Amino acid sequence: DVKVTQSSRYLVKRTGEKVFLECVQDMDHENMFWYRQDPGLGLRLIYFSYDVKMKEKGDIPEGYSVSREKKERFSLILESASTNQTSMYLCASSSGQGSGELFFGEGSRLTVL
């Protein structure tokens, strides 16, 4: 069974803290993505990666960075968390073939106080 695993389901952090969200996929997919989901705004793309060491900005990259040192792992980093980064964060991967279907992890609910 294919799987995208996000390391933390729920996190509570304080303003200014550095936050790491980890994501691992076991499908040998080339592409990996980080989205955030907010009520009324849908899923918005933060960053994505087509290959190891590669990264591309999505629609809302400000305040975030990413790291992809290995093909199966894609990390999202909040250098200095702020309250407006309280959100549900979703990692996804795709093979880049067919319909472009994404496989999502279960999400990480981050609350910044």
Partner 1 sequence: DQQVKQNSPSLSVQEGRISILNCDYTNSMFDYFLWYKKYPAEGPTFLISISSIKDKNEDGRFTVFLNKSAKHLSLHIVPSQPGDSAVYFCAASDLATDKLIFGTGTRLQVFP
Contacts to partner 1 by CB under 8 A: 4, 9, 31, 33, 35, 40-45, 48, 50, 58, 90, 92, 94, 96, 99-107, 109
CB of 58 to partner 1, least distance (A): 8
**Least distance from partner 1 to the Cβ atom of residue 80, Å:** 26
Length reported for the chain = 113
Residue 56 or 79 having the CB closest to partner 1: 56
Long-range contacts from 97-104, C-beta under 8 angstroms, 24+ separation: 102/33, 103/2, 103/4, 103/25, 103/27, 103/29, 104/4
Partners of 43 in the beta sheet? 37
91 CB neighbour count, 10 Å cutoff? 27
Residue (31 or 87) nearer to partner 1, CB: 31
CB of 20 or CB of 50, closer to partner 1 = 50
- C-beta of 96: minimal distance to partner 1 in Å? 5
